[in-house]
Amino acid sequence: MTPTLPDAAGNPALEPVRILSSAHLANGPHAELSELEFGLIIAHNAFSRWVARCMAAAGEPDLGFNDILVLHHVHHRQRGKKLADICFTLNFEDTHVISYALKKLAALGLVQGEKAGKEVLYGTTAKGSALIEAFRVVRGRCLLAAIDGDLADGAAHA
């Protein structure tokens, strides 16, 4: 339920108070959707900032959010990943964004590409694996330690 605020005279407001990024999108019968969208924007930006700061604390301050996502996905299950598969899994339509991230990660010595027929399969290097482990440790100390309940209990068993 969306809260309402009283007017200046103390009378109950007729219109609900909405927290929005774009009031013009809240006109009409689906105003709640704009509130959800704004919440997603805020959550995405907070998560992006958290991931970048966690990676900086792990020892690599020059990676952006997309670079970090690509690094983690390339490392996932320690199997080679094709550019198209990385784009599909991370839901990127523009392959050049992921290609740029892979080139940046390769220049830093964190990933390497290996030809397999016409394709290139990307995997993490020893340096990349060590950075991911450092990220995992920082994440565990800062984020998981602050979470109560089932998530924290599950983290202790991992």
Q: What is the pLDDT of residues 3-49, one digit of tens each?
A: 566 666 777 666 666 666 677 777 777 778 888 888 999 999 999 99
Q: What is the pLDDT of residues 73-124, one digit of tens each?
A: 999 999 999 999 999 999 999 999 999 999 999 999 999 999 999 999 999 9
User: What's the CATH number where 90 sits?
Assistant: 1.10.10.10
SS3 129: helix
- 18: in domain: no
So what's the pLDDT on residue 107? 98
- Torsion, Cα 139 109 59 131, to 10 degrees, reads 30
Residue 58: domain span: 23-157
Alpha carbon 42 to its chain's center: 12
- 10: in domain: no
| CA proximity to 143, closest of 132, 133, 131, 152 | 152
**pLDDT higher for 154 or 96?**
96
Domain count, the chain: 1
- 7: in domain: no
Q: What tokens appear for 102 in the block?
A: 């892979």
- 13: in domain: no
Query: At a CB cut-off of 8 Å and minimum separation 6, what does 112 contact?
Result: 106, 122, 123, 125
- 151: in domain: yes
